[in-house]
Amino acid sequence: MSLGIYIQVPFCQTKCTYCNFHTGVVSSARFAPYAKAVETEIREHRSRLSSAGVALPDSLAALTVDTVYFGGGTPTLLDPAHLQGMLDAVRETFPSKFREVTLEADPETVVTEKAEAWAEAGINRVSFGVQSFSDAELKAAGRVHRRADIYLAVPILRAAGICNISFDLIAGLPHQSSDSWRNSLEELIQIAPQHVSIYLLEVDEGSRLGNELLRGGTKYFASAVPSDDDMADSYDSARQVLSAAGYEHYEISNFAKPGFASEHNRKYWRREPYLGFGAGAHSFSSLQRWANAHDSAAYVQSIAAGKVLIEQLETISSSQALEEELFLGLRQLAGVDLDRLQESYQVSLKDRFTSLESAGLIECSGSVVRLVPAHLSISNEVFVALMR
């Protein structure tokens, strides 16, 4: 077992119309104090978490950090020296042997000088929020980048030696059609990133687009959002196109060329421990889950005051742990080994799957159960039925 580190950078250039994340458009003057606060949190995490009621197991201290993930927000807005400083704090605080260090990036933020500094700092994987190759869709969604920026950014990264690249695409953006979706997939395949994430548009009512969908209006193109059935078709066509191009579908939303599945994200689905630093970052110690305060200014103030503000702290009961094993495990196409779970949790589970198997939604092979690939687009319904 190893340890993952997640570092949250909650700043963006603009707010995408569909986004309801706790991210803000703030003055760049706030970047350096934020990065310094994260460094302090990393170096002093044990004592500060203890004061906040988090009991880190001693076994965690012996684990080697092998993955780091800078997420956001848009972490590429920061000066590379800030990213380097946070990585140095991780190296100096934990036993570390980095195998995968990922930086989330918006394509328009990639320039040669920064890419070379990222590589120098030890970043070896970049996850792009590409979302679409259609400028009409990108513009309607409030994204800053355009199709041309994607084509400029990738060669810059590869020239800097960062060749492990992931693309996110979103099925269901306003103005998306089956043709434009197919075109985005085809352009992606020409560029050949090592990893692809396909997300269905989730419109939270707190976002501007969600508000318009619920209450009406024309500013954010709510009427041009594809139907749920169209989104499901887009997801299915992505599965087919990516599979034909040599990508392994290893998790509901994730596809990878052989050997390029995300090591860090796998820790989430396998319930391996990870510590999150920065405003709104989530952590899991095997025994407890918690999240830092979401407000970045309150977070920085709490660090300056010698504390860390925790908003949610939950001790995981055995029954919760089992639900998580099922929910997270079934997200992986390899499925879940029921024998292992039955032995670990001393419960009988097979009956819970009988009706889902009869309905053709899950399939069993020996003691392993998994979602039937043809029905992955309705996986949420399976999870709801399973947790009843």
DSSP secondary structure of 276-321: EESTT-EEE-SSEEEEE-S-HHHHHHHHHTT---EEEEEEPPHHHH
Q: Does 71 bind ligand SF4 (CB under 6 A)?
A: no
Q: Does 70 bind ligand SF4 (CB under 6 A)?
A: no
Contact pick of 3, 35, 68, 72 for ligand SF4 (by CB under 6 A): 72
Window 24-63: contact mask with ligand SF4 (x via CB under 6 A): ----------------------------------------
Contact pick of 7, 19, 49, 241 for ligand SF4 (by CB under 6 A): 19
Q: Please report how close the Cβ of residue 21 comes to ligand SF4 at its closest, in angstroms.
A: 5
Contact pick of 16, 54, 154, 165 for ligand SF4 (by CB under 6 A): 16
Pairing of the two strands 310-315 and 288-292? antiparallel
Report how far residue 104's alpha carbon sits from residue 358's, in angstroms, rounded to the nearest whole number. Answer: 41
Candidate ranges 19-27, 322-330, 335-343, 349-357; the one touching ligand SF4 (CB under 6 A): 19-27
Q: Please report how close the Cβ of residue 12 comes to ligand SF4 at its closest, in angstroms.
A: 3
Select from 329, 334, 345 the least CA-distant residue to 268. Answer: 329
Sheet of strand 96-105: strand arrangement? 248-251, 254-256, 195-200, 164-171, 125-131, 96-105, 65-72, 3-9, 274-277, 282-284, 288-292, 310-315
Beta strands in 55-206 (DSSP E): 65-72, 96-105, 125-131, 164-171, 195-200
Cα-based distances in Å from 107 to 84, 114, 131, 307: 20, 12, 10, 35
Q: Does 209 bind ligand SF4 (CB under 6 A)?
A: no
Q: Please report how close the Cβ of residue 322 comes to ligand SF4 at its closest, in angstroms.
A: 32
Q: Does 281 bind ligand SF4 (CB under 6 A)?
A: no
Contact pick of 9, 40, 73, 274 for ligand SF4 (by CB under 6 A): 73
Contact pick of 8, 40, 74, 254 for ligand SF4 (by CB under 6 A): 74
Window 109-148: contact mask with ligand SF4 (x via CB under 6 A): --------------------x-------------------
3-state secondary structure of 270: coil
Beta strands in the chain (DSSP E): 3-9, 65-72, 96-105, 125-131, 164-171, 195-200, 248-251, 254-256, 274-277, 282-284, 288-292, 310-315, 336-337, 362-365, 368-371
Candidate ranges 16-24, 119-127, 213-221, 292-300; the one touching ligand SF4 (CB under 6 A): 16-24
Q: Please report how close the Cβ of residue 72 comes to ligand SF4 at its closest, in angstroms.
A: 6
Q: Please report how close the Cβ of residue 210 comes to ligand SF4 at its closest, in angstroms.
A: 13
- Which residues form the interface with ligand SF4 (CB under 6 A)? 12, 15-16, 19, 21, 23, 72-74, 129
